[in-house]
Amino acid sequence: MLNKLLEEVVLSVVGKSAVGIVDLLDTPKYINEFVIAKKLGITINQTRNILYRISDFGLVSSVRKKDKKKGWYTYYWRFEILKCLDFLKEHLDKTKKEVRSEIALRNSKTFYVCESCGLEYGEDQAILMDFTCDECGQVFTIKDNSKLIKDLEKSIGKIDEKLEVVNAEIAKEQLKLNKKKDIEMKKEEKEKQKKKEEDKKKRNKLKKEKEKLELKAKKGKSKNLKIKRVVQKKSSGKVSKKSAKKISKVKSKKRK
């Protein structure tokens, strides 16, 4: 069903000659423009002309890739499905509005027709022509609009049916996009959480290293303070020989 709707979009934008491109662009992956040209059996310039005309309505998107060997750029294309469906919905709504206007006009105005030539005229124009055909001279007759109005009302019914299908496809595509966004958001959230945990580990590691340095500095300070006290005792003659030997050893290490 989606494929037929996309064909209708291309038909209204480019024409019947380009309908074959639908099967190639209705894909989640981008397709090489040279591949499109080859499969359609037309030149690359003709292919690009079709794609650019569709692109003018924002119904396709493309990415550009550089050929490493040849050095030139090649474009890859695909349909923007949701935009295509929105475009078709807008087109159908516009057509429906025009048909309703025509029905209202046919119900409120009188039209005249030349039975011989099959030409139709509005009341104002018929008055100016004196209700006589300029082509054959036959007198106009009042046109019965009942059949035409009935056909127009049927066409509105068909448009409404197609709009239901289009709306259903829009809902499906929107659901797909929402699921894709949810997956991307979960992935992004997971990456953020991972980074957050890594940052936390780094902070904890730095904190432990800092605590070690502070403890080491504290021990060094305590040791220096102890030596200082021993030196003070030595100078006052209150230090033991054992403590004095320890001090001399520390001092000799510092000199080295």
pLDDT in tens, 17-51: 889 999 999 888 899 999 999 999 999 999 999 99
Q: What is the pLDDT of residues 146-194, one digit of tens each?
A: 999 999 999 999 999 999 999 999 999 999 888 878 787 788 888 888 8
Tokens of 38: 């080859």
Look at residue 214 and tell me whether its pLDDT is greater than 70: yes
65: left (phi over 0), alpha (psi -120 to 50) or beta: beta
pLDDT value of residue 81:
93
Q: How far is CA 105 from CA 100, 101, 209, in A?
A: 9, 6, 87
Q: Which residue has the higher pLDDT, 178 or 233?
A: 178
Look at residue 136 and tell me whether its pLDDT is greater than 70: yes
This prediction has a pTM of: 0.68
CA distance 85 to 91: 10
The domains located in the chain, with CATH, are 2-79 (1.10.10.10), 84-194 (no CATH)
Q: Which residue has the higher pLDDT, 240 or 37?
A: 37
The pLDDT mean for the chain works out to: 85
pLDDT value of residue 30:
93
Residue 190: CB atoms within 10 A of its CB come to 10
